[in-house]
Amino acid sequence: MKKKIRFYQSINTKIVFVIVLLLVFALQLIGANFTTQIERQLVANFQEDRQVQMSFLESAILPLLELEANNTEDNEVDPVQEINSLLADFSGSGITDLQVVNDDLVVVGTSDSTQQNIIGQLSDDVDLRQALFTESTVPRQVIDPVTNNRRWKVVEPVFSDADDGQFLGAILMESNIESVYAQISQITWIFLQSSAVAIILSLVLANMVSRALTKPIKEMQIQTRQIADGDYSGTLKVYGEDELGQLAGLINDLSDDVAEAQESIDAERRRLNSVLTHMTDGVVATDRRGKIIIINDMAQTMLERTDEEAIGENLLSVLNVEEEITLRTILEKQDDVLVNASEGGVATLLRASFSLIQRESGFISGIVCVLHDVTEQERIDEERKQFVSNVSHELRTSLTSMRSYIEALADGAWEDPELAPRFLEVTQNETDRMIRMIQDLLHLSRIDSGKSSLELEIVDITEMLDHVLNRFDMLIHSAEYETRNYRIHKELLREAIFVEVDPDRMIQVLDNIMNNAIKYSPDGGTITGRMQKTDDAVIISISDEGMGIPKADLNKIFTRFYRVDRARSRAMGGSGLGLAISKEVVEQHGGRIWAESKEGKGTTFYLSLPYVPFEEEDEWV
Ligand code: ADP
């Protein structure tokens, strides 16, 4: 994420700031030291100069003061006048005031021409008094009360050269020291100006240096941001072998590594996506709260939800199994759950298997649910169960009936000349029925396992049907059917229709339909065999005028063991497998079998077989 760096946070500012701060600190230190030293030196020089002038003046004034002290009237020279003219000569060049007092502190001379009136008066100057008492030089800086200027004031006591060293008076010298300070100020000002220039220059230089330093860092920043955004195309320029250069090199290597890793992750994701998309099982992945995050195409179809509808939904509510199972049970033991996903009349049963997505630490980050369509499997399972139950039932019924007759025979009925043959006949019939049923079952099992192959021949189907009908015509005229009034009617084509069939099997199918027509027409009636031909099929139909089949049962009669009236079928020795076998055989031939019926009126069975019309020229090809 891009975060704006504030001005004061940037490394650039920090470097510039530190450099300038250091410079200012150094300049401060140098400046303070430099100005104090200069000031001290200049002031010392000034004082020394004054001291030299003072010594010179002292040597000139000493004889005059001696003269004044002796006070001899006959002097040719007036010491006071001499002193004054000397002082007048001396003043100027920085010296603002000169005064000479005698040993009584009476002013005997002044350089100030406007103050000649103080001559002859007692001086009230404190420094003069101090010099008199301490008998030593009194140097002091004073402030001029009028101009506020600083002055350098020296009071020098004058002693006689004679051995007694008598105190003769004192000289007071005041000079303007302000010029020295002005000089110091000027020097300080020059120093400040150069400092300012130095700071500005260093600011520019520091900025340049820090920019040079931070440029590679900025580039690295941009590059790493690009890497974070998934753009690995850029390469950083390596400016040198220093730490920054090495870092840039490392970032380039890192970029390559990340690009490679990303590529392999992408490839992996694509592979996973394609596996998920093309899986025949449905796959749904959730987060740890059971909210769907991935759902593949198959799962969408199975659950009849689009991607958008399912994502974010709770897995259990989408599977509609909230009442049977909770997230907790899934987490504890990943049992399979059967999900009824029937929608719009289409029965669909799914088996949902759960597994956990676990990290190495054991933390469960989600659930994967694999959905397997078990509708067909369950149907087959159900059929198998039904089949076993049907077979057992059929066998048990026959065996129970046989057992009761055999028991009766064993109990003495065998001696009864009337009962014994009847009972034996029943057991024989039951045995026959069981044998027939087992044969039928074996036949079906052979067809199921694909072991029953057809022995195809080109057969004239018109002739075959005619033959079967004739055989049954003879049968209905036998003694057994004498009481009932059956009639067989034929509406066959007048031409030979050659079809490729297994004749034995096809006759078995026709026999079965004819047998049923007789069996289920208890009151007799006409049985009509018809034939019809289309461009690509020959259709045989056999109609009876029997009891008919209820509409609801019409498409069930071809399933194994299905009988409309179980008791009647049994009484007739049927097993409920005849039509099932017929259907399998016809389908083996690539044909179709179906029935139409009106309850109480009669039934028609249709049998269509593929047929390629025989053409003259084909014969010789
Ligand atoms: P079954 O051995 O019971 O005859 P099939 O498979 O041949 O077994 O027939 C299945 C069932 O279809 C019969 O039990 C009967 O209820 C019904 N069925 C078959 N043919 C006819 C028909 N021509 N008229 C009425 N019902 C029939």
pLDDT score of 71 more than 70: no
Nearest CA to ligand 1 atom 8: 576
Determine which residue's CA is closest to atom 2 belonging to ligand 1: 574
* E strands present in 261-363: 282-286, 292-295, 337-340, 349-358
Paired strand residues for 598? 602
In this structure, the residue with its CA closest to atom 7 of ligand 1 is 578
Helix axes 419-448, 375-410, angle to 10 degrees: 160
| pLDDT for residue 333 is more than 80 | yes
Helices (H), 362-458: 375-410, 419-448
- Quickly count: other Cβ atoms within 10 Å of residue 135's Cβ: 12
Å from CA of 397 to ligand 1 middle? 19
Report residue 616's pLDDT band, with 50, 70 and 90 as the boundaries.
low
Q: Which of 509, 528, 549 to mutate to test the pocket of ligand 1 (most atoms within 8 A of CB)?
A: 549
Q: How far apart are CA 499 and CA 465, in angstroms?
A: 12
Residue nearest ligand 1's atom 21 by CA: 516
The protein residue whose alpha carbon is closest to atom 20 in ligand 1 is 516
- Please state the atom number of ligand 1 nearest to the C-alpha of residue 512: 7
Ligand 1 centre and the CA of 522: distance in Å? 13
pLDDT tens profile 346-391: 788 899 999 998 888 989 889 999 999 999 999 999 988 988 998 9
Q: Whose CA is nearest to atom 23 of ligand 1?
A: 517
- Spacing, Cα 428 to ligand 1 middle (Å): 23
Quote the ligand 1 centre to 377 CA distance (angstroms): 29
Which pLDDT band holds residue 541 (cuts at 50, 70, 90)?
very high
Rounded CA separation 391/434 (Å) = 10
Residue closest by Cα to atom 19 of ligand 1: 516
CA separation for the pair 443, 39 (Å, rounded) = 134
Q: Looking at the predicted structure, is the pLDDT value of residue 168 above 70?
A: yes
Distance 433 CA to ligand 1 centre (A): 16
Residue 565 CA to ligand 1 centre (angstroms): 8
Kindly tell me if the per-residue pLDDT of 263 is higher than 80. yes
**Which protein residue's CA is at the shortest distance from atom 13 of ligand 1?**
563
Residue 597 pLDDT: 95
**257 CA → ligand 1 middle, Å:** 77
The confidence band for 2, taking pLDDT boundaries of 50, 70 and 90, is low
569 CA closest ligand 1 atom index: 3
Q: Which residue puts its alpha carbon closest to atom 16 of ligand 1?
A: 564
**Ligand 1 centre and the CA of 462: distance in Å?**
25
Amino acid at 591: G
- Tens digit of each residue's pLDDT (9 = 90 or more) over 105-143: 888 888 887 888 888 888 888 888 888 888 888 898 899
Question: Is residue 531 helix, strand or coil?
Answer: strand
| 374 within 8 A of 349, measured Cβ to Cβ | yes
| Pocket-testing residue among 390, 569, 607, ligand 1, by greatest number of atoms within 8 A of Cβ | 569
Q: Which atom of ligand 1 is nearest to 570's Cα?
A: 3
Q: Measured from the CA of 602, which atom of ligand 1 is nearest?
A: 24
DSSP state of 618: G
Cα 596 to averaged position of ligand 1 atoms, centre (Å): 13
What is d(CA 525, CA 188) in angstroms, rounded to the nearest whole number? Answer: 146
**Whose Cα sits closest to atom 11 in ligand 1?**
563
Nearest atom within ligand 1 for CA of residue 573: 2
> What separation in Å is there between the alpha carbon of 515 and the centre of ligand 1?
9
% of the chain residues with pLDDT over 70: 97
Residues within a 6 A CB radius of ligand 1:
512, 516-517, 520, 544, 546-549, 557, 563-565, 569, 574-580, 603
Q: Is the pLDDT assigned to residue 88 strictly greater than 90?
A: no
Q: What domains are defined for the chain?
A: 12-184 (3.30.450.20), 279-373 (3.30.450.20), 379-448 (1.10.287.130), 457-618 (3.30.565.10)
Q: Would you state the pLDDT for residue 124?
A: 85
pTM (two decimals): 0.53
Span from the CA of 571 to the centroid of ligand 1 (angstroms): 12
The pLDDT tens digits for 287-308 are 989 999 999 999 999 998 998 9
Cα 371 to ligand 1 centre (Å) = 41
pLDDT at 3: 64
Gap between the Cα atoms of 232 and 539, Å rounded: 73
Ligand 1 centroid vs 576 CA: distance in angstroms? 7
Residue-level length of the chain: 621
Q: How far apart are CA 597 and CA 280, in angstroms?
A: 42
CA 149 to chain centroid, in Å, comes to 82
Which 3 state secondary structure label does DSSP give 283?
strand
Output the average pLDDT for the chain: 88
User: Which DSSP symbol is given to 411?
Assistant: T
Instruction: Check if the beta carbon of residue 141 is closer than 8 Å to that of residue 41.
Output: no
- What pLDDT, on a 0 to 100 scale, did the predictor assign at position 506? 96
Quote the ligand 1 centre to 563 CA distance (angstroms).
6
Q: Which residue's CA is the closest to the ligand 1 atom numbered 12?
A: 557
